[in-house]
A and B are shown apart, each in its own frame.
Chain A
Amino acid sequence: MLRVEKLNYDVKGRKLLKDVSLQVRKGEMVVLLGSNGAGKSTLMRLLACDQKPSSGFISLNRQPLDEYDQRTLARCRALLTQQQQVSLAFKVREIVFMGRYPHFDAVAQPQDYTIVDEVMELCGISDFSDRVYMSLSGGEQQRVQLARVLAQIWDNPDSLLLLDEPISALDMHYQQKVLAIAKALSRRGYMVVLVLHDLNFAANYADRIIMLKHGRKLFDGTPMEVLNAKNIYTVFSVEAQVEMNPKTLRPYVKLEEMTLDGQLVTNII
């Protein structure tokens, strides 16, 4: 259980998060939605304990987050973020293997190697496990990082999995696959929190959706409760039509095309 109460985060006088409270239960998949700068990535980093909040309280599995020892926390919480460049010639397998580092001191156990093989198979990167990471395409690298993050918590279903825009660089096949993996993990008991940009992916996969705007939580509920035209406009300033998909009983969002203001167009011409 992840419990967040009245979280505030200020940086140099700017309030990035204001009084955010939420809960994620075991086996729940929560999607964070919001426009750029809404505070989603900031919230993810606070949930990962990468930063300390200015005020407020976070607890994971009934223990306050800041009371965790770094190694123990690393075994029950993993965060996937945007790529950092790797400038040394590490192989794909070596990168994925780093996900197991919190699990052994000097010598890896056989299960560490098995887990690495399993996650690489799942993410479709076994074929290039011996290639140098730097030589892969952006999407392939993203899958490698996902595999590493999964390897970190593969043997602990009480873990918290945080995925910040995990499918932005992936092709259609892997976009669906990653979301399916996240969903399957949540069914196994993991707490999964994802930041996504596509409203329909959120509608189809999330158990709950949380919408942020300007650092505040505006809406929190099931896709049916939260995704409607009014809320979408409030948060994204985009016109949308929301219907219900009769097959899945989940909302289906159709975005209206945006037109530029008449005056602006003539100025351009």
Chain B
Amino acid sequence: MTKRRAASVALLAGAVVAASVGYWRHRARAAAQHWVAPVLVDPAAGARTPSSEILGVRVGATRLVEVQRLTGAKGLSCADRSVRVLMGELRDKKRAEIAAAEAAGKPDAVSGASILTRKTARDENPQVRFSCDGVRSGALGDRARPEGVGRLLYVFDDANGPVRHASYQRNHDDWTAALADYEDARRALTEKLGPPRESSSMPKSGAAPGGPLPKYGRRVAEWKFSDVVATVSVGNLGGRGFSVSEALEVPLPLRPDAPVR
């Protein structure tokens, strides 16, 4: 082999290697920029939930259109607050900023404008987070509840699938009200699902039973089945009042219709 030929072969081999590296790096980058749906599985063997009904829906079965009809009938103000929608709002805001800057004769004053043309993996995530803000507990209509105002949330893997997650999160300024709300929600779910497993960061000793949670403390009642997990919790928000939440969901990576299969 002549020197020229050897050099050509080496050059060619180098080009192939460089192209391969570039290709794989490009693929890795492309993969990172795209939404990858989780691989869903059937529930493992074990006790199934006796009921997945909560907050007016049947988790694993109720569809988005039914939830929209339900919340509409109750006069609730709800919207999809998915990350995909939020990205759209971000772009709208950026367009408005650019328009304002151009009107002011400063077209280069807006930073981050590339988001207008750049699609991200967030834009490809089909999840729907149907969120109703400022919902009074009395408006829920599924059962009598202590007074409270909070966020009602229904999460769907996509617009066509059944609801995966339903929750109602509300805040109280007063510990007594928060505890009563927590106990009420726990009692309601216990009637449906049986006794929960309960954990708490309540002081172990020296504190009156039912006394306020310590700062950032939490008390959680949990029901775990092979197809759903339900929780009721109360948490001390560290000087910002107390949060009470009740939720029932099909945990990932289970398929969202696991409770009805």
A-B interaction: no
Residues of A within 8 A of B (CB): none
Residues of B within 8 A of A (CB): none
